[in-house]
Amino acid sequence: MDRPEYETALHEQGYLQVTDRRMEPNNINPDHSHEIDARLLVFEGETTIIGEGEERTYRAGALSR
């Protein structure tokens, strides 16, 4: 899935705002939370998200839920 396909799918699901966030390799974000339903598509590399006591790693092509 590429970015235009991803954005189209999100809009069809009712998501009105899509944000493009790119991170440098080996970057660690400080602990934070979202008051919205955040979705993620990894285009390249991988990312690990820790939430609700569980660690999940997403690789390129993976969609978070």
Structural domains of the chain, count: 1
Q: Look at residue 63 and tell me whether its pLDDT is greater than 80.
A: no
- Is the model's pTM score more than 0.75? no
> For the residues 9-33, what does the mean pLDDT come to?
88
Give dist(CA 55, CA 44) in Å, integer: 19
Given pLDDT bands bounded at 50, 70 and 90, which one contains residue 11?
very high
Q: Higher model confidence: residue 1 or residue 55?
A: 55
Residue 57's CB is within 10 A of a number of other CB atoms, namely 10
> For the residues 11-19, what does the mean pLDDT come to?
89
> For the residues 4-20, what does the mean pLDDT come to?
89
Q: Does residue 27 fall inside a structural domain?
A: no
Could you list the residue range(s) of the whole structural domain that residue 46 is in? 1-16+38-65
Q: Does residue 54 fall inside a structural domain?
A: yes
Supply the DSSP symbol for 42.
-
> For the residues 28-33, what does the mean pLDDT come to?
86
Q: Does residue 10 fall inside a structural domain?
A: yes
